[in-house]
Amino acid sequence: MAEVGRERHEQAVARLKASYDAIAPGQRVRLAKRTSNLFRPRDAVQTPGLDVSGLTGVISVDPQARTADVQGMCTYEDLVDATLQHGLIPLVVPQLRTITLGGAVTGMGIESTSFRNGLPHESVLEMDVFTGAGEVVTATPDNEHAQLFATFPNSYGSLGYATRLRIELEPIAPLVELQHLRFDDMGLLAKTIGEIVDTREYDGRRVDGLDGVFFEPGEAYLTLARWREEPAPGAQTSDYTRDRIFYQSLQHRETDLLTAYDYLWRWDTDWFWCSGAFGLKNPVVRALWPRRWKRSDVYHKLVGLDTKYGVADFLDRRAGRPKREKVIQDIEVPVERLPEFLEWFDDSVGMRPVWLCPLRLRDTPETPAHAWPSYPLEAGTTYVNAGFWGTVHVGPEAAQAPTNRAIEREVRALGGHKSLYSEAFYDRSEFDRLYGGPNLEAVKGVYDPDGRFPTLYDKAVRRG
């Protein structure tokens, strides 16, 4: 993908502003965006959307400075295609190809380098934000828009939209060597995570990436990734885009070798394990399913069709099964509370597997406690993200989301947090306490004084 360049970028921003000016004063403003990685329902909006069609590319890459200027609607797939040419990647590459850089910053993104690089917004050096007042402001950690810069992560478009972001990059080798460690003791799993995060080593060897999977009580795995310039003698790279499925390999292999590109998208090919809902665990179906369709955005569209037409609900009714509740969430708890959460979750929810991804705010002198007020994490604390995506049969009360509400209560009790890309059910006072409501309101009063964008509570809880 060719670099966009500064001139074309400015033209795209001008079109964005013109589309804003065409919306009548007082009307709510939204993006004219056809795709999404969100999993929360939204009420229908009839107003025209902002034209972001020209904001989908990489403006430039500076290999010497190890930075990239990127448009807000650029997907990580396109961003990685541009940076890998220079042997570089963003400090955190979220696991799904079509997550956008702007989306990962105004929302939340995470991946296996988060144990040492934090979350995507922590590697942003500066960003241009299109505000609710119809202006573009450049925010940095220490200029006159520093409060917007700090509050923007986890604001989900309630303060504005990033049109350009300058981010840090880091080197990656052509190959990634994997080591899968099995644990039958979740306390030892948590202890090992803490030690690796603290030392960035395991058994005296450097660790570049760290995540894992909880399959069931007594069976969990940590996957240690190490960048590697050359393969070990006799080693060959694996390909999980054909007949084999990556997550199943954790149970059957102690080591593995992937290209850097395949490592970055190892989870996207099967949407972790969710492709199984479409029959892709079946070798015959998998062989017939085109490789170009083994991607998270294709599966996401199929889920959208099911939601629209109620296919799964119809089949459940015919089979006499209880009504399903969607449970699609990412949460994190302090590492020492992870065994407690996994035990509760398996007993109370019973969904398996569960993705595990350690994270810690970047260790810099400038990182105070609660450095990012819209998603406050404690500096120096190791958390583990747990991701679980599917449905549970709960019966007629499914519409009241009893399982999701129980998860929220348990995560709060364990001192954790929940991402807001899916459904949330907090009351307003609890939501404001968890996500920096007073600060959000103050910043919104400055950059969106007429309330052209919905509030974060409207978007996350009220389906605005």
**Which pLDDT does position 41 carry in this prediction?**
59
Domain with CATH 3.30.465.10 in the chain: 6-172+445-460
**Which pLDDT does position 303 carry in this prediction?**
83
pLDDT in tens, 373-398: 999 999 899 999 999 999 999 999 98
Q: How far apart are CA 100 and CA 72, in angstroms?
A: 7
Pairing of strands 324-334, 417-418: antiparallel
pLDDT in tens, 137-163: 999 999 999 999 999 999 999 999 999
pLDDT bucket at 89, cuts 50 / 70 / 90: very high
Q: For the ranges 31-45, 207-221, 254-268, 303-317, which has the lowest average pLDDT?
A: 31-45
372 has pLDDT over 50: yes
Domain with CATH 3.30.70.2520 in the chain: 310-425
Q: Which residue in 222, 162, 156 sits closest to 186, CA to CA?
A: 222
Average pLDDT, stretch 304-318? 73
pLDDT higher at 368 or 101: 101
* Residue listed under structure tokens 């959460």: 341
Q: Enter the pTM of the model.
A: 0.94
Pairing of strands 88-90, 160-171: antiparallel
Note if the bond before 376 is cis, omega within 30 degrees: no
For residue 185, give Cα distances in angstroms to 181, 294, 331, 357, 380.
Answer: 12, 34, 21, 17, 25
**Which pLDDT does position 371 carry in this prediction?**
77
φ, ψ of residue 29 in degrees (nearest 5): -115, 140
Q: How far apart are CA 390 and CA 320, in angstroms?
A: 19
Q: For the ranges 91-95, 330-334, 459-463, which has the lowest average pLDDT?
A: 459-463
Q: For the ranges 80-94, 205-219, 313-327, which has the lowest average pLDDT?
A: 313-327
**How deeply is 130 buried, as exposed, middle or buried, from its count of CB atoms within 10 A (0-12, 13-18, 19+)?**
buried
**Which pLDDT does position 38 carry in this prediction?**
57
Average pLDDT, stretch 266-289? 93
Q: Give, in words, the CATH class of 6-172+445-460.
A: alpha beta
State the first-to-last Cα distance of the chain, in angstroms, to the nearest integer: 34
Average pLDDT, stretch 227-252? 93
pLDDT bucket at 35, cuts 50 / 70 / 90: low
Average pLDDT, stretch 92-114? 95
pLDDT higher at 42 or 94: 94
Q: What percentage of residues in the chain have a pLDDT greater than 70?
A: 94
Q: Which residue in 62, 261, 283, 253 sits closest to 167, CA to CA?
A: 62
Q: Round the average pLDDT of the chain to a whole number and report it.
A: 92
106 has pLDDT over 90: yes
Average pLDDT, stretch 199-217? 98
And the tokens for 357?
Answer: 């991804």
Residues contacting 290, CB < 8 A, separation 6+: none
pLDDT in tens, 340-350: 999 999 999 99
pLDDT bucket at 369, cuts 50 / 70 / 90: very low
What would the CATH number be for the domain defined by 310-425? Answer: 3.30.70.2520
Q: What percentage of residues in the chain have a pLDDT greater than 90?
A: 81
263 has pLDDT over 70: yes
Q: Which of 419-432 are b and which e, b meaning 16 or more Cβ less than 10 Å from the residue's Cβ? A: bbbbbbbbeeeebb
